[in-house]
Amino acid sequence: MTRILFWNIESFSVNKIFSASIKRQRGHGGLNDMQSAIQRRAVINAVLTATQPDIIVIIEVSSGDNAPNALASQTGGINALAMVQFGLNNPATMVAGGWNAVPPLYTGTGGRAETVGILYRRTDTAGNLRRYFTGPNIWTGGHGGLSVPPGGGAAAPYNGMVVPIGAVNVNGMLVPPGLGGVRQIPAGAQHNGGLNEDVVAARIAFTTTLGAPVAFGGLREPFMATFTETDNLGVVQRDLTIFGIHSPPNNPAAANYITTLSTINDIVGALGVNETRVIGGDFNVNLFAVNGTASGLYNPLTGGPGAYTLLVSPTAVGVPVNLDQYKGYFSTHIRGKDKTAASKFLWSNGGGPGQSFYPGYGYVGSNFVVAPFYSIDNILVWPHNGMHNYQTTIMNTVTGTPMNGVMAPPDNPPPGAIALANQFTAPPMGWPGAPTAANYPGIGGAGNLTGWSNYGRVRNTSDHFGISADI
């Protein structure tokens, strides 16, 4: 079992988690930038502590368009990844085996460019498993190298050049200080067996099942990274292929993007003997239609040659009994604050149609995209094991998880399995209210609930909740 956390941490950059500035920003509860970053880092750390992941996939990591180079630009995003890795490898808190990071390639062009951050544990806690990054591509050397398919060049490490002061040593992501020398990929791995970890690379260029190049037209390409897991004797147990996804923020374009994914040979081609494929991230399409039935927008992947299975999947047969309640259990995207009584944001507005239902109340959704737009992140797996409990959990930092404030709600929506406290630091007594929120507390109470100490710091960390699953 490998626990994977996919999380779009909005505009993830070093300023999200660290700042030396003492400048105060509006809406941050009087805190300066340094204090605000500490609080956002606390929200992120709470999710990491609760999930105890083996692999972390961070979507929407900041990067510029670094052409003609392939690596993400040496800006705040790659610095943030290096800082997270450094924190995970802190001797005071490090888990067994330590953490590596996949060298980040930038995806997309121009103003759409960003990257995906993937960090992975090198062993399991018991020391019975070894996990290796295997590519699937090779790297041609240095910080100015290229990611190419095996055979497309000579494989070389990410070092071999002087790293400017303040720049991230990318080779150190795969050979972290204090964790020994570079590791060799096991000979039985699906990709690049016998090579060292620091000469392989992720992949962002793809072909169809017929061998034709797949064009993304400047959109953010899937970020493909492969891993091999062995026992402590080096015998291969599984090959794991992960695709980090950030579809375009436009529903028709995002739907077309999913269709394009279903043409990629690496996604829908025949599985390797020991291979499991996982596609996860921010798909920017809603899981549900307006009436709460399945939207069908993932059908190109779930009904195509790959026969992927959604781990966050509708449970109602037909139209849900209570859509306002039902959708909160599936929601991964949250709105900017609204302090009006009519918004039912974190409160009810009287009885009847004014009720605001746990766990989504009125904060789920989007301020910019036409509804429905609330369940837009997901994880798909192939092959799916019907006997396995994937422990899939939407890491809701507003109400906490599991979302069990209502016993046996209609249509059996998924409460999640992982225990996470809500990340409000000054909530009113009885928070969160269930099965409905308490009535509107007045402008002062609404200001407290939506203020920095409560909803404010959660929303300032990200407009998405992460999803964790045991694969």
Looking at every residue in the chain, the average pLDDT score rounds to 95
Q: What is the pLDDT of residues 240-283, one digit of tens each?
A: 999 999 999 987 999 999 999 999 999 999 999 999 999 999 99
pLDDT score recorded for residue 223: 98
- pLDDT band at residue 305 under the 50/70/90 scheme: confident
Q: Name the pairing type of β-strands 200-201 and 114-121.
A: unpaired
- pLDDT band at residue 19 under the 50/70/90 scheme: confident
pLDDT score recorded for residue 161: 62
Q: State the DSSP H helix or E strand holding residue 231, giving kind and residue range, or none if neither.
A: strand 223-231
Q: What is the pLDDT of residues 189-226, one digit of tens each?
A: 999 999 999 999 999 999 999 999 999 999 999 999 99
Q: What is the pLDDT of residues 86-140, one digit of tens each?
A: 999 987 776 778 999 999 999 999 989 999 999 999 999 888 999 999 999 999 9
Q: What is the dihedral of CA 370, 375, 377, 382, to 10 degrees?
A: -130
Calculate the CA 388 to chain-centre distance.
22
pLDDT score recorded for residue 127: 87
Q: Over range 138-159, report the average pLDDT.
A: 95
Q: What is the pLDDT of residues 382-415, one digit of tens each?
A: 999 888 999 999 999 999 999 999 998 999 999 9
Question: Which percentage of the chain shows pLDDT scores above 90?
Answer: 88
Task: Please name every residue paired with 200 in a beta bridge, in sequence order, or none if there are none.
Answer: 138
Tell me if 440 sits within 8 A of 446, measured CB to CB. Answer: yes
Say if pTM beats, i.e. exceeds, 0.85.
yes
Q: d(Cα 100, Cα 122) in Å, to the nearest integer?
A: 7
- Count CA atoms closer than 13 A to 180's CA, side-chain side: 8
Peptide bond before 222: cis, by omega within 30 degrees of 0? no
Calculate the CA 192 to chain-centre distance.
26
- pLDDT band at residue 160 under the 50/70/90 scheme: low
pLDDT score recorded for residue 94: 67
Burial of 126 (0-12, 13-18, 19+ CB in 10 A): exposed
The pair of structure tokens assigned to 346 is: 């974190």
The helix/strand/coil state of 294 is: strand
Question: Which percentage of the chain shows pLDDT scores above 70?
Answer: 99
Radius of gyration of the chain (CA): 22
pLDDT score recorded for residue 146: 97
